[in-house]
């Protein structure tokens, strides 16, 4: 995981609707919760995505946005978002460029670690959590960001 205070790496990735997003464009709308997950449709990733979906009203009130990133393509993300009524962008990173830049590549380059970053409008990492098997840790992380009034 990247350290607190580190400048978050720029990226340019496509979402489930074919729109391109850069870190800069996302931060233009306020602070960002950027989370990385292993795969669409797996039980843990589905639970995590649905938790972010269910927190969306609280996130909007706190002027926070959430964006997910995983190696699946935009079409997989489109199906995943539709099946679970996800109300935030899922970015396709098939080459794992962002995954590697954010230091969440799996052991020996296999898979993706479950990591979440809070990034301020200045592009600096304000906080992060790595909890590969503890899905609840990501919800706790978001709740703490909400309670602190984000950045």
What are the sequence ranges of the domains in the chain? 12-147
How are strands ordered across the β-sheet holding 65-70?
20-22, 12-15, 90-92, 65-70, 32-36, 115-119, 125-130
Q: Is the pLDDT of residue 150 over 70?
A: no
The answer to whether 94 and 74 have CB atoms below 8 angstroms apart is no
pLDDT at 151 (0 to 100): 44
The answer, yes or no, to whether residue 25 has pLDDT greater than 90, is: yes
CATH of domain 12-147: 3.40.30.10
Are residues 27 and 107 in contact, defined by beta-carbon separation less than 8 angstroms? no
Provide the 8-state DSSP code for 107. G
* pTM for this predicted structure: 0.91
Catalytic residues: 45
What is the share, in percent, of the chain residues with pLDDT greater than 90?
74
pLDDT tens-digit profile of 86-142? 999 999 999 999 999 999 999 888 899 999 999 999 999 999 998 766 666 666 777
Q: For residue range 126-142, what is the model confidence (pLDDT) as tens digits?
A: 999 987 666 666 667 77
Residues linked to residue 35 through DSSP beta bridges, in sequence order: 68, 116
């Amino acid at each position: 995981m990247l350290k607190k205070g580190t400048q978050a790496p720029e990226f340019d990735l496509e979402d489930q609707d074919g729109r391109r997003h850069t870190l800069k464009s996302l931060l233009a709308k306020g602070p960002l919760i950027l989370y990385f997950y292993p795969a669409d449709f797996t039980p843990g990733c589905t639970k995590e995505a649905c938790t972010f979906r269910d927190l969306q009203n609280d996130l909007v009130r706190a002027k926070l946005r959430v964006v997910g990133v995983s190696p699946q393509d935009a079409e997989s993300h489109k199906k995943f978002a539709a099946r679970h009524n996800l109300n935030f962008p899922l970015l396709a990173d098939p080459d794992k460029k962002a995954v590697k830049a954010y230091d969440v590549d799996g052991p020996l380059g296999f898979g993706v670690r479950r990591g979440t970053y809070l990034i301020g409008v200045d592009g600096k990492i304000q906080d992060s959590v790595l909890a590969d098997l503890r899905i609840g840790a990501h919800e706790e992380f978001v709740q703490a960001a909400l309670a602190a009034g984000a950045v």
